[in-house]
Structure 1
Amino acid sequence: MKNIRKQNRKRHANRDINNWPRNVDSTRITHINDGELDFYRRRAMYSSVVLAFFFIILITRLWYLQIQQGDAYTALAENNRVRHLEIAAPRGNILDRKGREIVTNRPSFNVVWVREKNRVDDALLKKIASILNIEISELLARTRKMVGTPGHIPIRLAEELSWDQVAYIENNRMELPGIKIEVVPQRVYHYGNLASHLIGYLGEISPKELTSPSYAGYKSGDMIGKMGLEKLREKDLRGEKGRHYMEVNALGFEQRNLKGLEPLPGNDLQLTIDVDLQQTAEDLMMKDNKSGAVVAIEVNTGRLLVLASSPVLELDKFLGGISTKHWKAMLSNPHHPLVNKIVQGQYPPASTYKIVTAIAALAEGVISPENSVYCPGHYRFGNRTYRCWKKTGHGAMNLKQAMAQSCDVYFYQVGQRLGVNRIASYATRLGLGRKTGVAMEHEKSGLIPTSEWKLRRYKSPWQEGETLSIAIGQGFNLVTPLQLALMTATVANGGTLYKPGMIEKVRDPDDHIIDQFEPTVLDRFDDQGSNLEVIKESLIEAVNGRRGTGRRAKLENIIVAGKTGTAQVVRLKQYKHLKEEDIPYKYRDHAWFTCFAPAQHPEIAVTVLVEHGLHGGSVAAPIAKAVLKKYFGQRANKPKQ
């Protein structure tokens, strides 16, 4: 049996050998098989290395995402589940010097639409338009602005809903899918348009403002100050927004309310302005539709008590955005309500400037109080005759008489002796021809001319005859009402020019004072005490003397010192034959009156400008008198401590 098996194996082996190719070496076959084996081994090893490399990368990435960045991605995931809406903060209140509220806040109800299906629902908009009694075209215009935005972002359809409209929408919420009531703080003006140019107004932030670094952190739709203190003290008044957190579904729509963060109100501004005095000034300017400005200031501190520009701005027209109709009406108004005449109006100071000329003349020794000048009603200089306002002349005039009766001929001659440059140097030290630094927008510097200025501006030399016009406040001279008030206060207090201020205190929501007014001295006339006393006596005579031009500002128990001025707008010979009231409005003279009281121990200075008011003594002086009377009446009625 064993032999048979051996024979079979041998037979098979021989058969395989016999089938080999004749030219094949058996040793070579063995080597080929070993090479192929090594190749497959190497390929398996390389594949294992590559797989191991990718596994290492995958594990490293998983470690980075889950361990290193786990908190960040957890927060992102949470944000996909929890959303927040910002809640506008109530702006800070604005108060007067006695703590009376001028501007505060109240809740305003707006209607917003959250588009669940992210499409415009015409039937729903028609129903809302009917409820709100507005044109559907207005609602469609608002929705078009939000085309392409996610449906969970609300569209504000209307502002300032009435209580009846709010109640109806709340009671019919099931029939108004996606319609909600939004409550936001709205400004309340307790005294109407009082101090409107000072307070300013709010408006929605513009795309251009959003790109400004000054408004970093603001978003589209935010309300910001557009003018006045609302703009200049935006950082104080704004406050910090709150947040309303909500749980949302995969589409971003609200499912459940979560705990939120309450907004922090802005800081309160307490002004130096006195509501009663401000109201008195504005009421008198509004009478007969006067245009101009009234400024009252504490002479010993620089605190501003009245800042009235007329006509006032209608602040309620700016709530929610002013209409094109009202904006165009203001632009076309000949009284220019958009101009803050307190600091933006520039006018010839007229005879009020004689105060400057007199101070310069006394300081430079050009005149003495007793020197007299004869006034025949005109003064001949060169080939021109300069007229006095009194055609028949004043006769012999000393300084006190010339100031009281506002004699032009006297100051023509004094100005000629001084020269324009010496007059200008004293005017500048008194605060004219330069910005005061008050916290009001677009303040103008006015103009106090010099010979160098004219050469630079007109490329022609100064003419001596021009000095005569400058000496009585005409010619190139331009001042603002605030500048003239500061000049008057400087004369009243003995020579100290204060920087005007209007913010008494700034308080945070916890009633802590974070800033308050401190008097700031800009300039001093330390060596002009006796000369300023002479000027005071002259100004007392101007109001209380028998022939004084400011007699209509006289008070019974308080001695007032003041000066009138009638600023010529343009010299038109064709209107000389007409009565003053028949002269076209835009060609009439401006009316000035500036004063202080009590004359011997001054507390308050008042300056009044009435544009095209014709005469300072008859039009501007009574307004100043009313403000003074109110001021001293308050003091007399103040209860004793």
Structure 2
Amino acid sequence: MWQKDPNIYYQDFIERIEAASYLFFVASAFIFASIFFFQVLRGAHYYERSERNRLYLLTARAARGDILDAYGKRMAGTMSEYGVVFYPFEQTKSDLDETIAKISSILRSPQSKIAAAVLGSIRSGRLAELAPSLSREQLFAIKEDQDSLPGISVTGISDRVYSDEQINSHLIGYIGEADTAFLEKTSHLGYRRGDIIGRAGLESLYDGYLRGDDGGWQIEVDVLGKQRRFLNYISPRKGYNIKLFIDGELQRTAYEAIAQTGRTGAAVAIEPSTGKVRLFVSVPGYRSSAAFSPFESTGKFWKDVLNDPAKPLLNRAASGLYPPGSVFKIATFVTALQKKVPPETTYFCGGKFDYGSRTFRCWKKEGHGRLDLAGALTNSCNVYFYNLGLRLGGEEILKTARAMQFGRATQVDFPHERSGSIPAKLPSHGGGESINVAIGQGAILVTPMQMAQIAAAVAVRGRVMKPIIAETASTRAGESILLNAPSKISEISLPDEVWDRLDSALASAVSDGTGRACRIDGVRVAGKTGTAQNPHGNDHAWFVCYASRAGTPASPEIALAVLVDTGGSGGAVAAPIARRILEKYFDLRPRPVAAVDYGD
């Protein structure tokens, strides 16, 4: 019988050994590479993950910082509500019986109910909430007996509270829970699901300062996720307090004055030399505290405000767009002087102006008679400005308006400001468009914030300051961050003669013209009324002005824009509101004003 050569057997054995060795080497290399990768290169990462799996953080929300007015009065703050929880760690039977008896007595809750919650907590290895809200007496009783209540702890829940919340709602805004869309955009900033964030107004813009750093209880858990013992408590750190340039008392005065007309509207006031915003209100407001609360449902609130025909969520001060009406005559007046129209040029107003087949009317039906340029602005004569529109051309007026900041965002530190609009070019429909542009009608739209900035720029002869609302962010420890400082963003360059004539005409409009309802003893007010046509209803009432104490050489102290939505005549409705605001600002005793319509 034939037999295989022994050398062949040996060779086959060697080949098998080599193959096994190669496989062993590859497997060992793979194992060692994996160990090196997971233990050395990624060791820190997986150690951190294992620690997170071992440690559970029961979050204690940080209180949001306060929002304060210019005088330190709190406009938004945090109210702490206290509850009580049970920790199921290292409890003995005797401890439990005594704890249940004592805590049920303090909470005035049946022992059976407390016992069920406590025993359920022990079985599940999870914390149990025994009471979501404690009275002051209950809180003190637990604190006094804390040493004899093992496993019992008081927890804090923060609720946002607002002073004069409807008055300040559009300025301050409201808070709410971070939604998915927000988290996708801000995950790199440390926001997490369940975080409470600012959703509107300054609460939103300065959320990074206001929200603070959360703390909580570090709890050890086993592989099944059961909580085993309490390890550490990390104190939450309250957010920064934000101090504003806003005058809270001026806010209340303006809001109440507009609300008393029964109309919606807005008012904005700015210090001309610095850009500091002293007043920012929109009427009507809403209950900021009702927009989000950990203690009550907000469904009815949102249903009510969304269905309210007055649109209380619309911020008319920064986002409401309105035709400027006769306030725009300021730009037409400046254009006339720049184009060398002699100031003594006169036109006759008989109450109407015929152009082609159309008739354009003045607000004063019987007419103003013959007026010069200053008299036309003082008395807001439409017919005079119709003539100017044809003489100058609408394009030239719009060019001046753009240079004066009409149709441009103010750059105020406030979210969702709208810029308004100025036509890039007028349609070729003859002189009718120029006639409309000359009195601020047509496709021109502005916001009250924008009009306040323009009034402030006129007050300081063309220096356009950035409006600033928030001043500083500060902590209890005294750390302070300057958020905004006065800064010039542009310059309106006009000859001194133009500024002199414009200032004189605006002062005459208040002392002798359509703005007489804003005359104040001891205060020099220069302003312009406006009655803007509204295709959807009654005319809008405007009044813009700047003011200083009479006889003082300093530049004007305050610039103001008042809008009353569908309010009618600017002279009869908006100017008296401005007077009340200025009387409050200059700390003067309000005087009664007869309900007289001094005109457009």
TM-score normalised by length of structure 2: 0.80
For residue 557 of structure 1, the aligned residue among 522, 525, 541 is 522
Which deviates more, 601-610 or 64-73? 64-73
Superposition pairs for residues 71-86 of structure 1, below 5 Å? 78-86=51-59
Who is 1:328 aligned against? 303
Which deviates more, 349-358 or 521-530? 521-530
Matched, 1:612 2:585: no
* AA in 2 matched with 1:331: L
Structure 1 residue 338, shift from structure 2 partner: 1.0
Residues 406 and 71 from structure 1, CA distance in 2 versus in 1: closer, same or farther, beyond 3 angstroms? closer
Residues 88 and 347 from structure 1, CA distance in 2 versus in 1: closer, same or farther, beyond 3 angstroms? same
Q: 1:179-237 CA distances to partner (integer Å, 9 max, x unpaired)?
A: 98642332221333332112111111112222224664222211111111111222222
Who is 1:350 aligned against? 325
Who is 2:470 aligned against? 503
Q: Is the 8 A contact 2:65 2:238 kept in 1?
A: yes
For residue 566 of structure 1, the aligned residue among 516, 526, 531 is 531
For residue 437 of structure 1, the aligned residue among 405, 411, 435 is 411
* AA in 2 matched with 1:325: K
For residue 163 of structure 1, the aligned residue among 125, 135, 141 is 135
Q: SS in structure 2 opposite 1:422? A: helix
Q: Is the 8 A contact 1:94 1:268 kept in 2?
A: yes
Who is 1:543 aligned against? 510
Q: SS in structure 2 opposite 1:593? A: strand
For residue 484 of structure 1, the aligned residue among 446, 451, 463 is 451
Q: C-alpha distance in 2, partners of 1:219/1:259?
A: 22
Q: C-alpha distance in 2, partners of 1:108/1:369?
A: 68
Which deviates more, 65-74 or 492-501? 65-74
Q: SS in structure 2 opposite 1:369? A: coil
* AA in 2 matched with 1:552: A
* AA in 1 matched with 2:525: V
Q: SS in structure 2 opposite 1:295? A: strand
Structure 1 residue 463, shift from structure 2 partner: 2.5
Who is 1:141 aligned against? none
Q: 1:618-639 CA distances to partner (integer Å, 9 max, x unpaired)?
A: 211111111111111189xxxx
* AA in 2 matched with 1:559: R
For residue 437 of structure 2, the aligned residue among 459, 470, 477 is 470
Matched, 1:268 2:228: no
Residues 77 and 519 from structure 1, CA distance in 2 versus in 1: closer, same or farther, beyond 3 angstroms? closer
Q: SS in structure 1 opposite 2:406? A: coil
Q: Is the 8 A contact 2:545 2:559 kept in 1?
A: yes
* AA in 2 matched with 1:492: A
Structure 1 residue 475, shift from structure 2 partner: 2.2
**Higher alpha-carbon Rg:** 1
Q: Is the 8 A contact 1:209 1:215 kept in 2?
A: no
Aligned length: 549
Matched, 1:107 2:61: no
Q: Is the 8 A contact 1:404 1:541 kept in 2?
A: yes
Who is 1:259 aligned against? 232
Runs of 5+ consecutive residues of structure 1 not aligned to the other structure = 1-23, 117-130, 134-150, 456-460, 571-585, 636-641
Matched, 1:594 2:544: yes
Residues 112 and 428 from structure 1, CA distance in 2 versus in 1: closer, same or farther, beyond 3 angstroms? farther
Percent identity over the alignment is 36
Residues 409 and 255 from structure 1, CA distance in 2 versus in 1: closer, same or farther, beyond 3 angstroms? same
Q: Is the 8 A contact 2:81 2:134 kept in 1?
A: no
* AA in 2 matched with 1:622: P
* AA in 2 matched with 1:469: N
Residues 36 and 103 from structure 1, CA distance in 2 versus in 1: closer, same or farther, beyond 3 angstroms? same
Q: C-alpha distance in 1, partners of 2:81/2:347?
A: 68
Q: SS in structure 2 opposite 1:195? A: helix
Q: C-alpha distance in 1, partners of 2:81/2:200?
A: 22
Who is 1:121 aligned against? none
Q: C-alpha distance in 2, partners of 1:361/1:50?
A: 96
Q: 1:532-577 CA distances to partner (integer Å, 9 max, x unpaired)?
A: 21111111111112xx21111111111211111111213xxxxxxx
Residues 284 and 153 from structure 1, CA distance in 2 versus in 1: closer, same or farther, beyond 3 angstroms? farther
Matched, 1:631 2:596: no
Q: C-alpha distance in 2, partners of 1:71/1:492?
A: 63
Residues 540 and 153 from structure 1, CA distance in 2 versus in 1: closer, same or farther, beyond 3 angstroms? farther
Residues 67 and 540 from structure 1, CA distance in 2 versus in 1: closer, same or farther, beyond 3 angstroms? closer
Residues 260 and 385 from structure 1, CA distance in 2 versus in 1: closer, same or farther, beyond 3 angstroms? same
Structure 1 residue 393, shift from structure 2 partner: 1.0
Which deviates more, 486-495 or 240-249? 240-249
* AA in 2 matched with 1:336: K
Q: 1:311-350 CA distances to partner (integer Å, 9 max, x unpaired)?
A: 0121121122763332232122222111110121111111
Residues 488 and 158 from structure 1, CA distance in 2 versus in 1: closer, same or farther, beyond 3 angstroms? farther
Who is 1:297 aligned against? 270
Matched, 1:374 2:352: no
Superposition pairs for residues 59-138 of structure 1, below 5 Å? 60=32, 68=40, 78-109=51-82
Structure 1 residue 85, shift from structure 2 partner: 2.6
Q: C-alpha distance in 2, partners of 1:207/1:372?
A: 64
Residues 170 and 46 from structure 1, CA distance in 2 versus in 1: closer, same or farther, beyond 3 angstroms? farther
Matched, 1:422 2:372: no
Superposition pairs for residues 173-252 of structure 1, below 5 Å? 182-213=155-186, 216-252=189-225
Q: Is the 8 A contact 1:193 1:312 kept in 2?
A: yes
Q: C-alpha distance in 2, partners of 1:529/1:62?
A: 80
Q: Is the 8 A contact 1:240 1:264 kept in 2?
A: yes
Which deviates more, 40-49 or 407-416? 40-49
Q: Is the 8 A contact 2:63 2:212 kept in 1?
A: yes
Structure 1 residue 607, shift from structure 2 partner: 0.9
Structure 1 residue 290, shift from structure 2 partner: 2.7
Q: SS in structure 1 opposite 2:457? A: helix
Q: 1:20-57 CA distances to partner (integer Å, 9 max, x unpaired)?
A: xxxx9xxx99x99x779969986997799699869967
Residues 610 and 155 from structure 1, CA distance in 2 versus in 1: closer, same or farther, beyond 3 angstroms? farther
Structure 1 residue 429, shift from structure 2 partner: 1.4
Q: Is the 8 A contact 1:420 1:449 kept in 2?
A: no
Q: Is the 8 A contact 2:82 2:139 kept in 1?
A: no
Structure 1 residue 467, shift from structure 2 partner: 1.2
Q: Is the 8 A contact 1:508 1:514 kept in 2?
A: no
Who is 2:495 aligned against? 528
* AA in 2 matched with 1:616: G
Q: C-alpha distance in 2, partners of 1:179/1:211?
A: 38
Who is 1:20 aligned against? none
Q: C-alpha distance in 1, partners of 2:369/2:35?
A: 104
Q: Is the 8 A contact 1:357 1:411 kept in 2?
A: yes
